[in-house]
Amino acid sequence: MYAQVFYATAFTSQSPKEVTVLKDCLFCIDDNGIIDRIVHPEDSDYTAILNTYKDNDAFEHIAEGSYLLPGFVDLHIHASQWAQAGTALDIPLHDWLSTYTFPSEAKFADVDYAKMVYEDVVDTLLANGTTTALYFATVHKEASVLLADICAKRGQRGLVGKVVMDLHEECPDFYRDLDTQMALKDTEDFILKVKEIAKTAKQGVYPVVTPRFIPTCSDEVLEGLGALAAKYDTHIQSHCSESDWAHQHVQQRFGKNDAQALHDFGLLQDKSVMAHSNFLSDEDAELFAETGSAIAHCPISNAYFANSVIPIAHFAKMGVDIGLGSDISGGFSPSLYDNSRQAVMSSRMLEDGVNSRVSPEERGVSNSRITIAEAFHLVTAGGGASLSLPIGRLKEGYAWDVQRIDTQIATAKLPLFDTAEPLLDVFQKMMYLVRPENIRDVWVQGQHVHSRK
């Protein structure tokens, strides 16, 4: 017997450029919230399974006008920065960090304040269809553990990092780890506490080793964090070659790019996800591909802080794992729909170029554009592959992480007038036009975690 059977039309990414329509399929989910079988109308036992389950409590018929998409994977989000989202986007990265962001993150020493913000950001992400998130918390151990606990209780798959920043020159006294040894000890305690919470979280919560970025970390702490990640086999996250300033800062300190420096500290491996990575050289990208390290592409944030558009199509062609990140609050929107749209638009601007005073032949970078189907791949299957988890696809053996999109909501109706409209056109309209009102139900690992009445 299956724990649940859904009768629905759904969409899943087949390959980076190709979306598959699963029309009127039966999605059979096991007790662990994993897709056991997808039964197609032409399969010989389709009618028998439909008849067995259709009057059963375990059966859910997703009505016409509604469609299922895989839950989205946010590969880079600062949970604490939700409190400042939409503000202070008019100054460069270095000033933004020291003037706004470090003082704002320092408030998370207060666990009650942290609880209020963290509960809200987890609920907001679920309401936007984000079923898995790779979070930066803050330097505070207690509040960081709390974020993992909130993910566990709310049913979101959370990968959470206590942020490490120990270097006095770049970190203010009011906001940094006390010293290098304390940073490493707190990180180890944090890993053990989150592993404890994970024991009862069906969907999985994971501790993540999180050096903020090289400019705020000592050599000793970077080395120690590489060793801790190896000891506990954890995910790793950081920022890599984000802006002119950040990229040059690391060059001046080490005489090499971030990617090589991170690799030397044992921080590039299969479960590493590096945010931004705009200034990777081809040699750096090869290192990412060889080690299995992934890029968290943050297209909205990049428009403000990265001084560039990342050549994402080029890096994908080189075999680098890539997903999308909202980068709250370098990016203002918690929606990965918004970020998918921006990823497409930014890639088009990179391809065509932006300065109309330059001749068309020299204005852009050819072969840079991605389609909305490719953005969908990044935000689903690409995110799952980046985290080395069986998520982001509607496929046997993958977690039942799903969002139900109702295209007929009165306040957010999609322009669907022709009943014969190809389903792949309906898919494109969803990717471009869906708003939170359209996201009516969300499941993570088979558990119903969000509904909008």
Ligand X SMILES: O=c1[nH]c(=O)c2nc[nH]c2[nH]1
83 binds ligand X (CB under 6 A): no
Minimum CB distance to ligand X, residue 212 (Å): 5
With CA atoms as reference, report the closest residue to 415 among 438, 392, 398, 439: 438
Is-contact 135 206, C-beta < 8 A?
no
CB of 117 to ligand X, least distance (A): 15
Out of 272, 301, 347, 386, the only residue in the binding site for ligand X (CB under 6 A) is: 301
Rank residues 134 and 372 by Cβ distance to ligand X and give the closer one: 134
Q: Which of residues 4, 80, 101, 131 is near ligand X by CB under 6 A?
A: 101
CB of residue 264 to ligand X, shortest distance in Å? 20
Contacting range for ligand X; rule: CB under 6 A; set: 20-28, 93-101, 418-426, 437-445: 93-101
Residues ≥6 apart with Cβ < 8 Å to 378: 297, 312, 322, 323, 324, 340, 343, 370
CB of 97 to ligand X, least distance (A): 6
**Residue 101 or residue 403: which is nearer to ligand X going by CB?**
101
Residue 242 found at the interface with ligand X (CB under 6 A): yes
Name the residue nearer to ligand X (CB basis): 75 or 97. 97
Structure tokens at 360: 């068309």
Instruction: Using the minimum distance from each CB to ligand X, give the nearer residue, 305 or 332.
Output: 305
Q: Which residues pair with 331 in a beta bridge?
A: 328
Q: What is the DSSP letter of 419?
A: T
- The minimum distance between CB 247 and ligand X, in angstroms, equals 11
Is-contact 212 163, C-beta < 8 A?
yes
Site for ligand X in 188-217 (CB under 6 A): 212-213
Which residue is listed with tokens 């020159």?
A: 169
Total chain residues near ligand X (CB under 6 A): 12
- Positive or negative torsion for Cα 118, 120, 122, 125: negative
Nearer to ligand X, 212 or 404 (CB): 212
46 vs 61: CA distance, rounded Å: 15
Non-local (6+) Cβ contacts of 349 within 8 A are: 309, 364
Smallest distance from the beta carbon of 305 to ligand X, in angstroms? Answer: 5
Q: Which is nearer to ligand X, 219 or 352 (CB)?
A: 219
78 scored as a contact of ligand X (CB under 6 A): yes
From CA 330, how far away is CA 172, in angstroms rounded?
20
Say if residues 237 and 164 touch (Cβ distance below 8 Å).
Answer: no
Among 89, 97, 146, 370, binds ligand X (CB under 6 A): 97
Min. distance of Cβ 320 from ligand X in angstroms?
20
User: What is the C-alpha R_g of the chain?
Assistant: 22
3-state secondary structure (DSSP) of residue 304: helix
Residues from 310 through 329 that contact ligand X (CB under 6 A): 327
Min CB(330)–ligand X separation in Å: 3
Select 212 or 369, whichever has its Cβ closest to ligand X. Answer: 212
Collapse the DSSP code of 72 into the 3-class scheme (helix H, G, I; strand E, B; otherwise coil) and give the result.
strand
160 touches ligand X (CB under 6 A): no
Closest approach, Cβ 105 to ligand X, in A, equals 8
Task: Write the binding mask 25 to 64 for ligand X: x where contact by CB under 6 A, - elsewhere.
Answer: ----------------------------------------
Question: Could you give the CA distance from residue 58 to residue 14 in angstroms, rounded to a whole number?
Answer: 28
Tokens encoding 295 = 């890029």
Shorter beta-carbon distance to ligand X: residue 139 or 150: 139
Quickly count: other Cβ atoms within 10 Å of residue 451's Cβ.
12
239 or 297, CB closer to ligand X? 239
**Binding residues among 330-359 for ligand X as defined by CB under 6 A:** 330
Q: Which residues contact 140 (CB under 8 A, 6 or more apart)?
A: 108, 109, 114, 162
Reference 225, options 165, 305, 175; nearest CA is: 165
Asked if 239 is part of the footprint of ligand X (rule: CB under 6 A), the reply reads yes
CA atoms within 13 A on the CB side of 154: 27
Minimal distance in Å, beta carbon 89 to ligand X?
11
Give the nearest distance from C-beta 211 to ligand X in angstroms: 10
Question: DSSP state, 380?
Answer: I
* Number of Cβ within a 10 Å radius of residue 350: 23
Residues in contact with ligand X by CB under 6 A are: 78, 93, 97, 101, 212-213, 239, 242, 301, 305, 327, 330
